[in-house]
A and B are shown apart, each in its own frame.
Chain A
């Protein structure tokens, strides 16, 4: 690793979830949600086994609302699910423990859900075909508690030692942490997730204004892309602060809803401009972890 951490002191502990079913409110509630212009839509959304959308694919253009690539898991027990959601880190290894895909390994790629209750895992497409909703998936969690010893202003969130190592971060001559990113998100394009926890769930790029999205060069993002969040402090929640910088991964796809769009799973944050994002094409979890299709 290019940066010094306390990763030799981290504890690795199991957290388990089951493949989550997509969910909708019960009858007689109507299933429609409204897009940013008030038009009702009914589309696939959070949860389930998503067979044909993967890390590395476009974050835009799917007929879906904040779709999770790959497989989404949660645990019905609320406190247990909180443990799963807090301890699972991007880059952690997951293994299918029951069902026909038993023994298959995957990688945690994001966190989200309608109430920030799901963890998103990449498995190759063949493995997905063998899985069933309810299959148990165990994650060897490691990462919570990790610090960058030479960057005390930076807090790591949902960040595994593996992703830190493979992202090729370095300490610059100015003492800041250089992080390669695909894009830089200005604060006015960050929406849903503000004021909510930065230890799980997602902070959304808001995409109702397509021109503004294009101006910010964010209209070509892929699922799994690493991005920087400008003027946002995510130390204890996500919120506006000039000079603060966050780094996250695009964990889920675009949304027609106001205030929503590709959801970002936070990896690190500095309230003091201690991160230097370096725009580099192709920084994506697919190549970072050599994920199989």
Chain B
């Protein structure tokens, strides 16, 4: 059932970025878990064949960012793009052959990630401007003040089929449970900025826990993780997050997990639902 929010008080504001060219470090190699140098695509640009709803694992790529990656060349504007954009916000192409086409924000990594229909991607060029109607900062669940929302658009909150458990508890559908001990790169950042990778280096554990079946766009839960003001272990805390990018070959890295909801005490329960993906909740595409 829909949860009450302060949605009517939110401000909608435009932020803009340009489609990024993929970049590589000098030398090109990324060391994998076994110390082998790899050169792999994944970050930035227009990724034509990976989209929310597709697998997060199994790509011959590194940190594969589904859809279109955008950034702003001005440092302050870039931070505004990062801090104000919320998952599920509407995006509009504002220059180039696809001008006027609409998309949906599906992730925040080093750049903002936007999903467009494949026929729109065909017309996009690196450098094209994409404007986001940012809305969601300040959003609260009016009846559940213990639960903090991060980068949830009102559309996303409306789309997730929450269950009310009690005056202090709700239940959220997720596909996957991530143990806090495998949460890695990103622990050094504040939780208003980008994501935290789950560490996929223990391949057998990924298979044992079914984490290797995760899809881009999946909702996941991290028990005992407090992401209110940074990301830290705290017994009893709960964090609901979104899988925004694909797996990585690097030690301490893996699929990107973006904080959506978090509470210090156990105010969030979860139920496993294979359909818990923003492709469904934001009507982005039919999933297989």
Residues of chain A whose beta carbon lies under 8 Å from any beta carbon of chain B? 34-38, 186-189, 191-196, 204, 206, 208-209, 211-212, 231, 233-242, 257-260
Residues of chain B whose beta carbon lies under 8 Å from any beta carbon of chain A? 31-33, 35, 179-188, 190-191, 197, 199, 201-202, 204-205, 224, 226-235, 250-253, 264
Query: How far apart are the CA atoms of A209 and B33 in the complex, in Å?
Result: 30
Question: Does the CB pair B229–A189 fall under 8 Å?
Answer: no
What residues of B have a CB within 8 angstroms of the CB of A231 in the complex? 181
Question: Does the CB pair A239–B251 fall under 8 Å?
Answer: yes
Chain B CB within 10 Å, residue with most, of A37, A38, A188, A189: A188
Query: How far apart are the CA atoms of A35 and B232 in the complex, in Å?
Result: 11
Question: Does the CB pair A233–B201 fall under 8 Å?
Answer: yes
What are 29 inter-chain pairs, A to B, with CB distance below 8 A?
A: A36-B228, A187-B181, A191-B188, A191-B232, A192-B187, A193-B188, A195-B185, A195-B197, A195-B253, A196-B185, A206-B232, A206-B233, A208-B233, A209-B233, A212-B233, A234-B251, A236-B31, A236-B32, A236-B250, A237-B252, A238-B184, A239-B185, A239-B252, A240-B201, A240-B202, A241-B201, A257-B230, A258-B230, A258-B231
Residues of B contacting A: mostly: loop
Q: Which residue of A lies closest to B205 (CB)?
A: A242
Chain A CB within 10 Å, residue with most, of B32, B226, B232, B234: B232
Query: How far apart are the CA atoms of A239 and B205 in the complex, in Å?
Result: 13
What residues of B have a CB within 8 angstroms of the CB of A260 in the complex? 188, 230, 232
Question: Does the CB pair B226–A36 fall under 8 Å?
Answer: yes
Query: How far apart are the CA atoms of A53 and B130 in the complex, in Å?
Result: 51
Contact A186 to B181, CB < 8 A, known contacts A236-B33, A242-B205, A259-B188: yes
Min CB–CB distance A83 → chain B (angstroms) = 16
Question: Does the CB pair B250–A195 fall under 8 Å?
Answer: yes
Residues of A contacting B: mostly: loop
Query: How far apart are the CA atoms of A37 and B237 in the complex, in Å?
Result: 12
Question: Does the CB pair B188–A38 fall under 8 Å?
Answer: no
Chain A CB within 10 Å, residue with most, of B181, B186, B235: B181
Question: Does the CB pair A208–B185 fall under 8 Å?
Answer: no
Question: Does the CB pair A188–B181 fall under 8 Å?
Answer: yes
Contact of A208 among B183, B188, B234 (CB under 8 A): B234
Question: Does the CB pair B232–A36 fall under 8 Å?
Answer: yes
What residues of B have a CB within 8 angstroms of the CB of A208 in the complex? 226, 232-234
Min CB–CB distance B226 → chain A (angstroms) = 7
Contact A237 to B191, CB < 8 A, known contacts A194-B199, A195-B185: no
Question: Does the CB pair B181–A206 fall under 8 Å?
Answer: no
What residues of A have a CB within 8 angstroms of the CB of B32 in the complex? 236
Query: How far apart are the CA atoms of A35 and B230 in the complex, in Å?
Result: 8
